Amino acid sequence: MISWIRLAASGLSRRRLRTLVTAMGVALAVAALYSLLAFQRGYQNGLRGELDRLGAHLLVVPKGCPYDAASIALHGASWPCYLDEAYLATVRRTAHVAVAAPVMMNAVYEAATGAQAVYCGIDATMRGVKRTWRIDGAFPSASGDLLVGSERARERRWHVGDWVDLPGLPGRSGRVSGILAPTQGAEDLFIYLRLEDAQRLFRRPGQLTHMLVRLDDPENSQRVVDELRGCGAGLEMNVVPLAHLFQTIQNLVQSTRLLLGCVALVALLAAGAGVSSTVLMAVAERTREIGVLRALGATRPMVFRLIWAETAVLCLAGGATGLGAALMGGRLVESWIRARLPFVPSGPLIQAETPVLAACMAATLLVGSVACLLPAWQAASLAPSRAIRGS
């Protein structure tokens, strides 16, 4: 026949445009809140995953911004400056250094596809850093050997033993000695070759772009950093402890997140003010109707609950719409973020997680409940005779 939910929903349908606009305000605020909360968890998880996949405790790079260098090392690009290969011996001699793996990285533009191809020159010591690597085939040992990332091999339809043209390097070829098992990271697109081959190919004899350093014990990180920075070669290189890098990037992102959090909070409060205004107007317009409800036997708590239920339905509908839009528009938001942050993990930044979704809906309900307190109390306080007479 009739239920309280039906009664509450019917109240919202009388001014549909106003209800819709108010719900959209709530949707925008919830979408912003969700994107912020989901981003923070997604970014943190992605960053930790990437640094874990790197396998190293320290990154030795040429002098310059360490965060840019870390980003290039993780995601692949051309480097603006180089390290002398002779520093490798210095690093390897340092106490508590278990493995120091040299890398000569370069990215070339492939005109045919419009994409870039990343090449990394490495030696056998890289196996000591990349302990999670699984290779189908063999690690590059002879000149011309290539170790190809799984995604690159798949898109090119390369197999172990194939002779292939090097993307972006006309006239150059190599033999696929091995294919890397998927790492879920940027390495799936890299092409690894012998260090000497890379130095020759890119005309950088005796030079490196960076070194990946694994320690015997991560607790010794600061000791090793201090020693490397204090040595003669320390003037020419930046030693970046990845744990600190993680923390520094986290702090940077945290600052940004706090600012964005304030924006999201303001948006939520503005939405709450909009809801309160809408419900206040609705109560004022329905004064006589509320008087009739009281005359028919609705108690004050019933009237209060009715107004609260209408507000809750409005906010939950707006919240659900906002979450749906945020989930669908997540890719757009990610693209926007990637273009603005200096260091961004390659995995998804905005991850849909049930606790985050639940927290957003709970926040919506809380804001709505607070917003309707005044109008609900006003409605419940209306004396039937005055309400009926006053309209």
**Residues at the site binding other proteins, with contacts judged by CB under 8 A:** 1-4, 6-7, 10-11, 13-14, 288-289, 292-300, 302, 383-385, 388-389
Please state the closest distance from residue 347 (CB atom) to other proteins, in A.
49
**CB-CB contact of 94 with 214 (8 Å):** no
Please answer whether residues 30 and 319 qualify as being in contact, where contact means their C-beta atoms are separated by less than 8 angstroms. Answer: yes
- With respect to other proteins, which residue has the nearer C-beta, 115 or 292? 292
The minimum distance between CB 282 and other proteins, in angstroms, equals 12
Minimum CB distance to other proteins smaller for 4 or for 163: 4
The residues near 253 (Cβ < 8 Å, ≥ 6 apart) are: 40, 43, 341
Handedness of CA 295, 296, 300, 306 (dihedral sign): negative
Residue 279: CB minimum distance to other proteins, A? 16
If the CB atoms of residues 96 and 305 are measured against other proteins, the closer one turns out to be: 305
Q: Which is nearer to other proteins, 218 or 384 (CB)?
A: 384
| 296 burial type by CB count under 10 A (0-12 exposed, 13-18 middle, 19+ buried) | exposed
CB of 316 to other proteins, least distance (A): 19
Rounded CA separation 88/210 (Å)? 10
CB-based contact 348:42 (threshold 8 Å): yes
CB atoms within 10 A of CB 242: 23
Q: In angstroms, what is the minimal distance from the CB of 254 to other proteins?
A: 48
Residue 366's H or E segment, with its range, is helix 354-371
Which residues 6+ apart lie within 8 Å of 132 measured at CB? 53, 55, 183
Q: How far is the CB of 1 from other proteins (least distance, A)?
A: 5
The minimum distance between CB 383 and other proteins, in angstroms, equals: 7
Q: Please say which residue, 63 or 300, places its beta carbon nearer to other proteins.
A: 300
Indicate the residue among 304 and 343 with the shorter CB distance to other proteins: 304
Q: Which amino acid appears at position 40 of this protein?
A: Q
**In the block, which residue shows the tokens 């709970």?**
362
Smaller CB distance to other proteins: residue 14 or 154?
14
Output 314 or 367, the one with its CB closest to other proteins.
314
**Which among 28, 14, 67, 63 has a CA at the least distance from the CA of 241?**
67
Q: How far is the CB of 285 from other proteins (least distance, A)?
A: 12
Structure tokens at 362: 């709970």
Nearest distance from C-beta of residue 321 to other proteins, angstroms: 22
Token pair 């090097």: residue: 166
DSSP notation for 154-219: HHHT--TT-EEEPTT-TT-EEEEEEEEPP-SSGGGG-EEEEHHHHHHHTT-TTEESEEEEEES-GG
CA dihedral 339, 340, 345, 348 (to 10 degrees): -70
Asked if residue 292 lies in contact with residue 383, where contact means CB atoms within 8 angstroms, the answer is no
- Name which of 113 and 385 has its Cβ closer to other proteins: 385
Cβ-based nearer residue to other proteins, 11 or 274: 11
Q: How far is the CB of 378 from other proteins (least distance, A)?
A: 16
> Containing H/E element for 78?
none
